[in-house]
Structure 1
């Protein structure tokens, strides 16, 4: 599709949106016209500078902190397989951590804007850490040998070869980290009860029945996240000469397991399992937090299993989990289906795929807490809005992974079915999809924790069910034991989903290898 046609298609879409908004054709006016959104934005223009500045300050501080820790950790894990294996449990827990579950914990334990900074930093850590490990591991071994042949030690190899090899990948990962930092800051603002920031502005506007204002706040948040993404895309292009897409390889943190001596594997695996709980207990005691508010692992165990509140707490948690988990699984499957469909469209009808990409990018750069009220206006508060939110947060990372897998299929591999006159769907089914299967599983691993996050945000803001609603109720009742319990269960469920997909992938690989 030529640029002129794309411009015409965009203008036509805006015109259709204007007509639908002016005549209330979508959800009885829940989708306001672009002109109405701009008019409302202009009337509210005095409100935005302070809120935008507060969000950007927290996101920037978290971005710097999270990336500094991530790059340092990536360097350590790349140089020490044992450290990588030992930290594997912490890394997967941080990746699987639903931010919505830890917002109340951070707000209870940390003062001022610290929860916003920490949540922004957590959003940056995993993609940048993984990209650093991958980039350092992908250094050209011939260049390494050359430096060593001239007497260079490990430091020279790291400085002259490995870091230069990792730089393009790390810079590209910052494009992912920058919008994540914005999302983390807004999410903490939304759940923290403060007065400044776009998240606080959004929650203060929910009860005013003004869709145009909600859309204005959502689009402002989208613009900030999009600008952050674009800024680092330009910096990456300037620094490396070309941008590269980063697909997080979940196996990157397994390098220590493959490289560790057999005698160390069991101790390292046990340490990997226990280290997250040790860090949890250490942080609670190290910051001298009040026991009533900050619960240690043993206190949560007492609340859930040993104390007098255990039966009632277990019943509430199980009921909520049974409401949340099926929707998370359904949303994950739906998100993967949308991602696979879009990736296949990119192979068969590139023009249509390019036309859909702007909508996909908007769904990713608009923070969930801003997107959710808008989808509630359009779809109501039932299962449909939960699935829509879950699909919106899972399909794009999955699409990137699957599209990259399809793009890496050698063109020569498609020559055989083409030589026999096979139609395009047989080429894809017999050659392209089997070759891209590892990337499809990688997409599922990436999407599993995000699916739980999407469902919990929908439950917290819209449906009044499941773990998200239980967390909201616990905050209102000052039930600190339940707040920490929901956070723990959310992380354990996310890790279980991640590991379940990994188990299925490994069994599939064994069967294909045996066949």
Structure 2
């Protein structure tokens, strides 16, 4: 039997074991007095509620599919433009990082206030896929066969012809990898907008209406339905990738942007001007969005409106006090959850190298937790863990460990065998070889995974605060929606984005210093 068939059989066996254990535990009510029902009980309730699902599923699939199409079209087009114009890539870096760091739960109320109909759902789905696919496109187009490009230029071809005949074809693996990762993000974006949008249809709306009924079987059914949709969207592009590229071609995604060394050399005044433009462009686009939508000033706040709300208006002292109290509740648990998620990912990555069988056992469970949208996962964890800080910590670990684990495992696995042979030749144990060679070699991936998990950790905490604990920025955002405190809604959204961007650049600065100390090159 081939190794592929063996791995497939092991995965199927592990899934069946999980199902059997789940059924026994659920039927015996061993978890929080029935908070985790048996799988058969969930399926029975799903069948009872079957008439409710078509309309809700169609609304979610329609919004997420349209957002996926629009967001990825813009992302691929932007990636092509950025590669042709590195100056534009540098100028828009602030916007791109802001889009990446944007917590969907913070921007969802903003979109509901400023847009109508299905537009908030489609927009949030599009924002969820943009950065991943744009980054994949830029990296794929930047890593091309220069010999083929030279041949095109030798026959009189220009940059666009090189892009068409060489770069775009070579970037197909990276773009498909980006689409594969982005697909579940579109589903999450649509459900989050439904959850806070007040519409009639959608799985987010159905979940919101079911939260107060004390029916765990229904909540688990809705969560699993959302998981199946997100999982299928991921699987579709996995199949496409394998069919087009072959199963031996890597579809892992490097989420960084090409290094600054590829940019043209500018004089100091020009560099300062570009840097100023990078900082100001996100705020300019924010202001333009408000003006173009034509939303009244009472509802929509420009950057100057947020500053006035926090520092100049009569109630600014009270607003600052509320915001500070919320930050003091959110930031510590975010840092703790992110650290725990990274440590968990690090241990899993080491285990995947030293105990390959462990990885086959763990991956099916991990994939389920990653494809289930957060807004559906959180109420289920509340049923099991209650509404304390433990649920916030679990949600944060759940959303941060998997992408970090994938990158760290990739870094450890890519250490050349020739490098590993030296410590082995001197009799080093597997752990000593890991500690002295593999782990230091994976440092760039550790920093890349940290940058990746910062906004995800904040998102996880805010969703748990919104749905479970009643504390922090998530709860402040939810209460502000109820009180129609539009200034605070915009303020929380702006602060959450600024925090994510600030943490991103702090990690980036530490990464540069650390890798320079070890003589490593940063894949920025």
TM-score by length of 2: 0.96
CA-to-partner distance for each residue in 1:432-477, whole Å, 9 max, x for gaps? 0101100110000000110000000000000000000000010000
Displacement after TM superposition at 1:3 (Å): 4.7
| Conserved 8 A contact 2:138-2:257 | no
Equivalent residue, structure 1, for 2:155: 150
Matches within 5 A, 1:213-362: 213-242=218-247, 243-252=249-258, 255=260, 258-263=263-268, 264-362=270-368
Alpha carbons 2:176, 2:251 under 8 Å: kept: no
Distance in 1, Cα, partners of 2:398 & 2:298? 37
Evaluate the alpha carbon distance shift between residue 239 and residue 223 of structure 1 in structure 2; reply closer, same or farther with a 3 A threshold. Answer: same
Distance 2:414 2:13 in 1: 32
Instruction: Give, in angstroms, the shift of residue 192 of structure 1.
Output: 0.7
The 1:491–1:4 alpha-carbon spacing in structure 2 relative to 1, beyond 3 Å, is closer
State the match for 1:63 in structure 2: 68
Task: Report the aligned-residue RMSD.
Answer: 1.4
Paired position in structure 1 for 2:508: 502
Match of 2:252, SS?
coil
Query: What SS is found at the alignment partner of 1:200?
Result: helix
How far apart are 1:303 and its partner, in Å?
Answer: 0.3
Deviates more, 1:337-346 or 1:83-92: 337-346
The DSSP-based 3-state class of the residue aligned with 1:29 is: coil
For 2:391, the equivalent position in structure 1 comes to 385
SS at match of 2:58: helix
Moved more, 486-495 or 15-24: 15-24
Gap change, CA 1:240 and 1:4, over 3 Å in 2: closer
Query: Which residue matches 2:143?
Result: 138
Number of the residue aligned with 1:43: 48
Q: Could you tell me how far 1:341 is from its partner in structure 2?
A: 1.2
The alignment status of 1:366 with 2:344, answered yes or no, reads no
Q: In the alignment, is the contact (CA less than 8 A) between 1:62 and 1:118 conserved in 2?
A: yes
Whether 1:212 aligns to 2:178 is: no
The offset of 1:168, in angstroms, is: 1.4
Distance across 1 between alignment mates of 2:317 and 2:448: 38
Matched, 1:376 2:382: yes
Q: Deviation at 1:121?
A: 0.1
Partner Cα distance (2:406, 2:9) in 1:
26
1:381/1:463 contact within 8 Å kept: yes
| SS of equivalent residue, structure 1 residue 28 | coil
One of 427, 430, 446 as aligned partner of 2:433 = 427
TM-aligned CA distance change 1:107 to 1:3, over 3 Å: closer
Contact 1:83–1:256 at 8 Å: present in 2 too? Answer: no
Ranges in structure 2 where 5+ consecutive residues have no aligned partner: 1-5
> How far apart in 2 are the matches of 1:144 and 1:168?
18
Length-normalised TM-score, structure 1 = 0.97
Provide the secondary structure at the position in 2 that maps to 1:336: helix
Change (3 A) 1:177 1:145: same
- Listed one character per residue, the Cα deviations across residues 478-514 of structure 1 (whole Å, up to 9, x for unaligned) are 0000000000000000011111111111121232239
TM-superposed CA distance for 1:4, in Å, is 4.5
Distance 1:30 1:422 in 2: 49
Give how far 1:411 is off: 1.0
Helix, strand or coil: the match of 2:510? helix
Identify the residue that residue 3 of structure 2 maps to in structure 1.
Answer: none
- Cα distance in 1, alignment partners of residues 70 and 312 from structure 2: 38
What's the offset of the Cα at 1:345? 1.1
